[in-house]
Amino acid sequence: MPGDGANTGNNSYLRPDYVGGDVNLASPTPEKWFNTGAFGIPAAFKFGSMGRHILRSDGYENLDLSIFRQFPITEGKRLEFRVEMFNSFNNVVYGTPNGTITSTGFGQVTTVGKQPRQIQLALKFMF
């Protein structure tokens, strides 16, 4: 909740009111991550009835892989080839949904929580 509707001088404690219905959706999408109809703006000089940390963002899945191979050239020299993949399966992890009740994008996810797949190739000569 933006502002200081409870008139406490500290706007970090203000939360929305619970209006009714299930807060979590069975199949959330980035356009509607949670049931925005379950929230309401509290009356003036009142704290909202919703608790803290009742909503969750997307889970985090990640797998990084690397493959190294060395090729001997002479006794003291060798060549190393490397392939490194970050987020190898390219799993999409959505960012935190917009939680400002007065915003037009309330309940929407507009960011991602991690980078898409990245692949690095390297060639290293050791002597």
Give 34-90 pLDDT, tens digit per residue: 988 888 888 887 777 787 778 888 888 889 999 999 999 998 999 999 999 999 999
Domain-embedded: residue 115: yes
At a CB cut-off of 8 Å and minimum separation 6, what does 118 contact? 85, 86, 87
**Does 10 fall in a domain?**
no
Query: Could you give the residue ranges of the DSSP H alpha helices within the chain?
Result: none
* Position 96 in a domain: yes
Which structural domain range is residue 36 located in? 17-126
Indicate whether 3 belongs to any domain: no
In percent, how much of the chain has pLDDT > 90? Answer: 34
The answer as to whether 82 is a domain residue is yes
Give every CB contact of residue 95 below 8 A, 6+ residues apart in sequence. 57, 58, 109, 110, 111, 112, 113
Answer yes or no: is 6 within a domain: no
pTM check: above 0.95: no
Residue 95 lies in a domain: yes
Is residue 12 a part of any domain in this protein? Answer: no
Report the 10 Å Cβ neighbour count for 62: 12
Phi first, then psi, for residue 36 (nearest 5°) are -75, -20
Specify the number of domains making up the chain: 1
